Every structure is written in structure tokens, then in C-alpha cells.
Amino acid sequence: MEATGDQLILATGGYDHIIKLWQAHTGNCVRTIRFVETSQVNALDRTPDKTRLAACGYQCIRLYDIESSCAAPIINFEGVQKNVTRLGFQEDGNWMYTAGEDHRVRIWDMLSPQPHCSRVFDCQAPVNAACLHPNQVEIAMGSQNGGVYLWDVKSEVHDQLIPEVDASIQDVAISPDGQYMAAVNNKGNCYIWSLSSSPNQQLSTLSPKLKIAAHKRYVLRCKFSPDSRLLITTSGDGTARIWETEHFTMWRELCVENYWVWDAAFSADSKYVFTASSDGIARLWKLQTKNAERKYTGHTKAITALSFKDEIVTE
């Protein structure tokens, strides 16, 4: 993870109502943005061109220009209720998706002068998680009633599964190669499905593959590495665990003892991972050595969300 040209920016946010932008390679905080006085930061994501940062919380979604010195959001998204739990962007930045405790996943048209909600999917239960398939048309969702959904945004076709009764799905992830989907729940379990598609079907087919007893407590997040070879799960048990996707065996355990590990993000080369935890510190770990190479300190309460995007530059 080398800083070349544009500085690599890590964004963090949490219960102190603050978003911080860091130079990833130095640990220096380059900017602090006040979020909303009445809300923690639930999720962060950069636009594909990396110039803007979206943040969501209780009844709010904000978009900030991170290249401007102005701390005010450039867009406040209207009409959202309850906690907004996840957001992300289509690869060209044409639309954004958000998920929330109002039971809905929304598609926002980002090409119009005033972005507006163009499509809605009702999960009929609070939605904790959503992620976009690499095919850029299907969204996986996880809800508090245990439902895992796959929704084709264009055709409106959808599928629903309930991997475990009486368990809340806390996060969902799809591997960048499109082979696997993972879902984690509040009982410490991680479910893996194989994904397949054919030209004549409208929606990817999900085939159950594996159940992993990943953690002893709440699992908060799951994410695949950019090379699809690793899966990270973060938990209330003070650990982030790295699983090799060849056999879904545990390869590394990163410990932040006595604190919840809320979020994680891989570097583009899949050799490093950032974690956000309830001690108010973000960390950069070198996976080969399990060492915390850098700490990002400055938040006064739990860090619940982070966003990092870099690219492998090929000569």
C-alpha cells in the first residue's frame, strides 16, 4: 500500500458525531467534519471518482465534497426516516443505494441536479446491511428478521432466504469475483453461498455452501478482499478474523481486546486491512505479520464506520 500521486485518504466516523479524513500512509488527520449533532455515523463510502464522501446516520444522508475546504454537505438527501444503516455507489457513480431501519432499500439517481429516490425495495423489516454485486445490477440485503434478499434493481425480480431463525443479519458481502455471498448474524455465525448465473436467468442463483461459527458474540461486519481470496469478519468479541476463501478456514486473528471491532476495509493489494473499534482508534494491520502498523487516534468515542479506496497501479 504505497502512497503515489494523490494521497490515500482513510475516512472514519463514529459515536462522537465526527468524520475524520486521514493520510493513510502517515496517520495524520487532514480534516475533521462535524456530522449531525443528533446522530452517530453508521456507514461511509466514497464516490468512484473519490472526490466526494457519503455518510449516513439517524434520519440523515449527507454528501460532502472532500476536495473543498467547505465543511458543509453539498447534498442533504431528503425524506429518510429512522436509522440509515448502509450506503454505496454503482461503479460509474450514476446511482447510490441506501438501506435503513424503515424497512427500505432505496436507489438514488445521482445524475440529476437534485438526486432523488428512483426505486424502493421493501424488506418488511429493518434492514441492517446491503451491498452491490460486481455485476452492478443486483443488491444483497440483510434484515433484522433474519431475511437475506437478492434484488435485481433493473427487473425488480428478487429472492429471499432465511438461513437461521430468530437471528438478525448484521451484514452481507459478495466477493469481487462474484463467486460467493456471505452473511453474518448476531449469534456469531457466518453463512456462505455460492453464486451462479446464466444468460437466460434474471437473477443469480444462491446455493448454500457453508455455515461457520465465526465468533462467540455478535458479528458486526463481513467483507471480501479485492482479490476474493480472503473474508474478514469483525465482532463484539474484540477480534477481526480473516478466513481464506479456498476452504473458508481461519488464517489470521486480529485482536483489539475488550472492544468491539465495528468495521474493516482491505487495501487494494489485499495485504493490509483497516479496522475501526469502540476504543475510538482505527488501525492498519499488515496481514502477513498480524502487526498493527499504524494507529489513527483522534476520535473521542467508538468508531463505527470507515471507508478506504486505493488502487493497484500497474506500470
Structural domain total, the chain: 1
Query: Would you say residue 3 has pLDDT above 60?
Result: no
Are 259 and 279 in contact, with CB atoms under 8 Å apart?
Answer: yes
Across all residues in the chain, what is the average pLDDT? 94
In a domain, residue 311? The reply is: no
Q: Compute CA distances 283 → 3, 24, 122, 172, 275, whole Å.
A: 17, 10, 36, 22, 5
pLDDT at residue number 312: 65
Q: Which domain holds residue 271?
A: 85-299
pLDDT tens digits along 275-311: 999 999 999 999 999 999 999 999 999 999 999 988 7
Please give the Cα distance from 231 to 192 (Å, whole number).
11
Radius of gyration, CA atoms only, the chain: 18
In a domain, residue 49? The reply is: no
Query: Would you say residue 4 has pLDDT above 80?
Result: no
Q: The cell 429472492 sits on which residue?
A: 159
pLDDT at residue number 217: 93
Q: Among positive and negative, which fits the CA dihedral 261, 177, 160, 58?
A: positive
If one compares 37 and 222, the residue with the highest pLDDT of the two is 222
pLDDT at residue number 270: 96
In a domain, residue 172? The reply is: yes
CATH of the domain at 168: 2.130.10.10
pLDDT at residue number 202: 84
Mean local confidence (pLDDT), 227-236? 98
In a domain, residue 179? The reply is: yes
In a domain, residue 60? The reply is: no
pLDDT at residue number 311: 77
pLDDT at residue number 315: 39
pLDDT at residue number 314: 44
DSSP the chain: ----SSPPEEEEEETTSEEEEEETTT--EEEEEE--TT----EEEE-TTSSEEEEEEBTEEEEEETTSS--S-SEE--S--SBEEEEEE-TTSSEEEEEETTSEEEEEE-SSSS-EEEEEEE-SS-EEEEEE-TTSSEEEEEETTS-EEEEETTT--EEEE-SSTT--EEEEEE-TTSSEEEEEETTSEEEEEEEE--TT-SSPEEEEEEEEE--SS-EEEEEE-TTSSEEEEEETTSEEEEEETTTTEEEEEEE-TTS-EEEEEE-TTSSEEEEEETTSEEEEEETTTTEEEEEEE--SS-EEEEEE---PPP-
pLDDT at residue number 310: 87
pLDDT tens digits along 115-155: 999 999 999 999 999 999 999 999 999 999 999 999 999 98
Q: The cell 468479541 sits on which residue?
A: 237
Query: Would you say residue 2 has pLDDT above 50?
Result: no
Please give the Cα distance from 143 to 170 (Å, whole number).
7
Other beta carbons less than 10 A from residue 83's beta carbon: 20
pLDDT tens digits along 75-103: 999 889 999 999 999 999 999 999 999 99
In a domain, residue 38? The reply is: no
Mean local confidence (pLDDT), 46-50? 94
pLDDT tens digits along 242-255: 999 999 999 999 99
In a domain, residue 186? The reply is: yes
Distance between first and last Cα of the chain: 15
In a domain, residue 207? The reply is: yes
pLDDT at residue number 6: 55
pLDDT tens digits along 202-223: 899 999 999 999 999 999 999 9
Q: Percentage of residues in the chain with pLDDT exceeding 70?
A: 97
